[in-house]
Amino acid sequence: MTKGDVKMTNIYGFSVGDVIKITRYNGDEVEATAEVINTCDTGLLRANQLTGKRLMTYLSGYIVLDLEDAFERISSAAVEVTDVVSHPPHYNSGRFETIEIIEEITQGYDDGFVAHCAGTAIKYISRAPHKHDTPTEDLRKAAKYLEFAIERLEAEESKR
């Protein structure tokens, strides 16, 4: 499937578990297959590579295909299954999975407790509009974890 073939209402029409053949990735001609692990309506498709020369992957080990890449379905998943443990829908509502954002941002902290608090706050902020009827509870939890991090940092600063 190439850019001209894509219907924006259902970006690729693929389901989790579909196997795709990739012929162009990041501007390079390639020969590879991959299994779809996540689809989103922003023009990105996440997949685990199955065969072919190793393609560039993200921190979590998957490849991301976009409208500039060329690929097609070679087999369909029998049933679409949402992995609520590894990829819960309320953490997959945008272009990036929340765990990837947390992993990237928390690397900048020297204190493990502060990193944990910052990551937990990110988790609550990202899921707030998607998990419950109202985001208030999750936003309060995020604020509390930021408070914990700030208290820890201020305590460390006062010791200096």
Q: Which residues pair with 29 in a beta bridge?
A: 24
**CATH class entry, domain 3-75:** mainly beta
pLDDT at 98: 81
pLDDT at 53: 78
What DSSP element (H or E) covers 98? helix 98-106
Low-confidence residues in the chain, pLDDT < 70: 1-12, 40-43, 57-61, 76-94
**pTM exceeds 0.95, yes or no:** no
Residue 42, CA atoms < 13 Å, CB-side half-sphere: 10
pLDDT at 108: 92
Q: Which residues pair with 28 in a beta bridge?
A: 25
Structure tokens at 130: 């998607």
Domain boundaries, the chain: 3-75, 89-158
